[in-house]
Structures are given as C-alpha cells and as structure tokens.
C-alpha cells in the first residue's frame, strides 16, 4: 500500500491515490507532423480536444468517401447497363446484316 503524501494543501483523494492525473497539469510531448524538429508540449486536456477534433474530421471524411463510393458504384452499374444494351443492339445489327447477305447470296 502506498503511504500518504505530505502536502497540507492537496485534497485527500489525491494524497492517497498515486494513479490520479491532473489533466491541466499533466504535459505530454506531441509531434505536430510539420517537421522532424517540431515537437510541442501540450496539456493532456488540449491533446484530448485536439484528438477529438481529428476524429470528427476523419468521421466526416469517411462519410464523404462512403457516399462517393456509393455514387461511383451506381454510375458504374448504369454504364454497364448502357454497354450491355449497346452490345445487344450491335449484335442485332450484325445478325440482320448476315441475314441480308445470305438472302442476297441465294
């Protein structure tokens, strides 16, 4: 068991709980991604809010990409149908020409 921390100004819950983090006081080193030497010290709260914003942006991107994929799939299926109809009509034209050439040959 952990012994009490002797700090008369600290709340008792913090004194007896060594695993408690104080979010505004805890700092972490964050790489902002702009360069190899661009490390920043941010509070835990700032980091959580930043990550929340990044997750929201990714969710919006995912939603947009999902809609774009659905639109592309519909367009592809529509194009396939147009091509099938065209190919059938071309086969019909070719069959008619073959029949005509056979009739003319006889």
pLDDT tens, position by position, 36-80: 677 778 888 888 898 999 999 999 999 999 999 999 999 999 999
- Is residue 74, in this structure, part of any structural domain at all? yes
- State the pLDDT confidence band at 2, using cuts at 50, 70 and 90: very low
Higher pLDDT, 8 or 80: 80
- State the pLDDT confidence band at 14, using cuts at 50, 70 and 90: low
| Residues spanned by the domain of 99 | 24-105
d(CA 28, CA 41): 6
Contact 30, 39 (CB under 8 A): yes
- Is residue 39, in this structure, part of any structural domain at all? yes
Task: Please state, in angstroms and as integers, the Cα–Cα distance from residue 19 to each residue in 5, 6, 30, 76, 77, following that order.
Answer: 13, 16, 22, 56, 57
Domains in the chain: how many in total? Answer: 1
Q: Could you identify the residue written with the tokens 């914003």?
A: 53
């Amino acid at each position: 068991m952990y012994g009490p921390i002797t700090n008369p100004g600290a709340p008792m819950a913090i004194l007896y709980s060594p695993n408690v983090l104080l979010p505004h006081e805890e700092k972490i080193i964050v790489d902002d991604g702009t360069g190899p030497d661009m490390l920043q010290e941010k509070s835990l709260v700032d980091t959580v809010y930043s990550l929340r914003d990044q997750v929201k942006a990714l969710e919006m991107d995912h939603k947009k990409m999902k809609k774009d994929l659905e639109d592309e799939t519909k367009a592809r299926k529509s194009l396939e149908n147009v091509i099938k109809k065209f190919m059938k009509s071309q086969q019909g034209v070719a069959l008619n020409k073959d029949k005509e050439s056979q009739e003319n040959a006889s």
